[in-house]
Every structure is written in structure tokens, then in C-alpha cells.
Structure 1
Amino acid sequence: MTAGFQLDALDLAALLCSRVCHDVINPVGAIVNGLEVLEDENDPSMKSFALDLIKKSSRNASARLQFARIAFGAAGSAGASIDLGDAENVARGFIHDEKVALTWEAPRLLMPKNKVKLLLNLLVVSTSTIPRGGSVNAVVAGDADTARFEIVATGNHSRIPHGLIALLAGEPEGGTLDSHAIQPYYTGLVARAAGMSVGVESIEGGVKILAAPQTAAP
């Protein structure tokens, strides 16, 4: 089933670029600030602080770019498969945060890239349901052809963000998108390209996201 709302390809590209820039601008800005401190300060303690900031921010920026390369980018030639072990590595780098703990339960196998892109984007969606932090448990069941994903996010004040389900279905409320809404909308596009359906439901203490082949109920 094709969503009625259609986004121009150039607008999709521009909004996704804005999203990626939003994800990396803070760590890159911190690197710049750290370098300025190194240039201007003579205090050894301040120089040590600046070096730690640069190292931490560099790792953060690198992790976010590596995640974006798979979640939003081509990540290989057309029809390529991606190792779920590589997906786990970039997911842990992206989500590594004292506020969110990630549990990953998946076999080590090659999976079509659109399904891996969907899995990673669903992880991002799941973190939006626990704005004050918590835990995310991602489970992959089945093989490359029959894969099902279950992602459970739990935390204080968990909720399904307003408009999320409509965005995943490809029907943004009001018929407009911005750089904040593009990620769940894009997730829905990837799901349909991968032949999978996505369901979101509230559970006690959290939110559950299920993705399954369109021939099966999610």
C-alpha cells in the first residue's frame, strides 16, 4: 500500500542532510571549542580538560557519522547485504549515552541492507519514546528473508510521540515535514521498501515497536 502523501526527492534529500547535520553539529562544535581552549589557555588543568573534550567529542562525531552512513546512506552497492554485527557496533556507538542502555539480541548474519537500515532507524525511533532515558532492548528473530524485529524501550515518562504513527505510515499530520519529523517518515519509507510492516504500542513502563514481513501481522 502506497502512502497518499508524496515528498519530493530533493526535499527528502535536503531534510535528511539537515537531520545528519543536527546529529553531528554538537560534537563538532565541542571539538572546535576544545581547540580554542588549547590555543588560548596556559593552565595545564584546562589543557587537560580540553584534550578530554576533544577526544570524547571526536569519538561521538565519528560514531554518529558511521551510524548515519548505514542508517541513511547507501552503505554499499545496490542489493548489498550488511552484517548484523556491524549494525550492532554502529548502534552501540550511536546510542552510547549514560541516559540510555542498549541490549542487542541478534544472530550474526548478513541481511539485506534495507532491513538493516530499518532496524537502525527503529532504534532511533525507540529512543524518542523515552525522553528522560532508560533502556532499549532490540531483538532480531528469523533469518534474512523472514526477519522480525522487536524493540522495547522502557523508562520514566515513556510515551509515543505525537504524530509518530502517522509519520511511520507516510501521512504526516498537516501534510508537511521538517528536519525533526523526517527521520520517522524516512523509517516508514525504508520499511515499505523492505516489504515490512511496523507497529507501535504502549506497554507498561514503555513502548514496544514490532516490524515483520508485510504478509504477517507486525
Structure 2
Amino acid sequence: MSGPSTPGPAPDALELAALLCSRVCHDLISPVGAIVNGLEVLDDDPKPEDRDFALDLIRKSAKTASARLQFCRLAFGAAGSAGAQIDLGDAQAMARGHIEDGKTSIVWNLPRLLLPKNRVKLLLNMLIIAQQTIPRGGTLTVDPIGEGDTMSFRVTASGLNARLPHNIAELLSASQAPAADAHAVQPYYTRLLAQACGLSVKLAPEGEAVAVTAS
């Protein structure tokens, strides 16, 4: 019987930056590729119905790319100077634009106020993790823990066959450093954000749902 896995070496600053960039590129490649495909259809001098289809594809894909860029800028980027605060109302709008579709919806139970940017970045990254637990879609419910500048969060994911993604719970804890790929770096980055806020993040099943909690 094999023993518990040994944590690997944590990525240095350059590797972490590269992995986060790869993650952002992964999120954008699909809508940007669809825009390119739509433009290629237009370049072929298509029939009117094909032209309408191409324009609709470009329009929807550009909207998706814009929403993902805005979300990633806040979730992974600098988003203001050191010590900056971010409006939770803006975070809600970006989260809905990035996550909500025909399958997944958000119930946002947070008050509208300004919070330190790392806490807001932590919340958005928790939403990404929670979304991964309901691959067939469902509802993400966002609730506050505490109030004011020290508010933390709880995101409950409910949906058909909600499950814990492989290794995510371990990557959120101090027990495992990420593998050198863009998939593992996001939960690891969430852990770093939580530590910067003096918090820890846990991912655990709750009946038929899954909860991501920062406390």
C-alpha cells in the first residue's frame, strides 16, 4: 500500500505567472477561435443565410470573449493598486457575465460594498472552483461569512451529480503543490489568495451539494 503523496516543490514567481497566463489563454482560445471562423466564412462571400450565421457567431463569441477578459482581469490580474478596494456589485456583474449561461445560474446573497481587492479576487476564484463541481450545470449560491472588511465567503454548488474534482481539495490545502500545468495552478492560486487574506479555503461535499468555504 502506498503512503500519502509528498508535496512537490511550489512554483517560483516566474513559473506561477506563466501558468496563470496559460490559464487565461485557455479561457479565451475558444471564443476567439470562433470569431476567426466566423470571419473566414465572411471572407468566402457566403450566401445570405451563411452570412447571417457568421455574423451571429462573431457577435456571440465577441461578447463571450469580452466577459471572460473582464472576469480574468479581476480574478487573476492586478485590478488596481496595492491596497485597492473593489465593489462587490462589479464583481457580481463580472461573475454573472463569465459563468451564467443556459445551464448555470448564480444566487448572489452578498451586500453591495467595497472590499479589499484580494478578498474579491478570492471570491471569484472560489466561484471558478465551485463551477467545476457541477459539470452538468446547476446553481451557485454565494453567502457572506461575517461582515465588513473582514467578510469571507461560502459558495454552495448544487446540481445533477455534483462532485469533487480530482485533487482540487488537496491543492487548496497546504498538503500538495500544483503540478506544472494551467489546470492545477488556479486552485493553488486560490490558496495563495486565501493566505494573503489570513484565511483558508476548504472544498467539501454537503449532502448532494458541494461547498467552497473561506474562513
Q: Give the structure-2-normalised TM-score.
A: 0.92
Per-residue CA deviation, residues 142-200 of structure 1 (Å, 9 max, x unaligned), is 33333121111011121111211111114436x63311111111100100011112122
Kindly provide the CA deviation profile for residues 72-97 of structure 1, in whole angstroms up to 9, marking residues without a partner as x. Answer: 00000011000000000110011022
5 Å-filtered alignment, 1:1-218, equals: 5-172=9-176, 176-212=179-215
Is this contact kept in 1: 2:31–2:61, CA < 8 A?
yes
Moved over 2 A (4+): 3-6, 140-146, 170-173
Query: Which letter maps to 1:37?
Result: V
The residue matched to 2:148 in structure 1 has which SS? Answer: coil
CA distance in 2 between counterparts of 1:118 and 1:68 reads 12
Equivalenced residues, count? 209
For residues 96-132 of structure 1, what are the alpha-carbon distances to aligned partners after superposition, in whole Å with 9 as ceiling and x for unaligned?
A: 2212111111111000000000000000000111111
Cα distance in 2 for partners of 1:162, 1:55 equals 35
Instruction: Give the residue type in structure 2 aligned to 1:128.
Output: Q
1:112–1:144 Cα contact (<8 Å) kept:
no
Tell me how far apart the structure 1 counterparts of residues 100 and 42 of structure 2 sit (CA, whole Å).
27
Deviation at 1:5, TM superposition (A): 4.3
Two-structure CA RMSD over aligned residues (Å) = 1.6
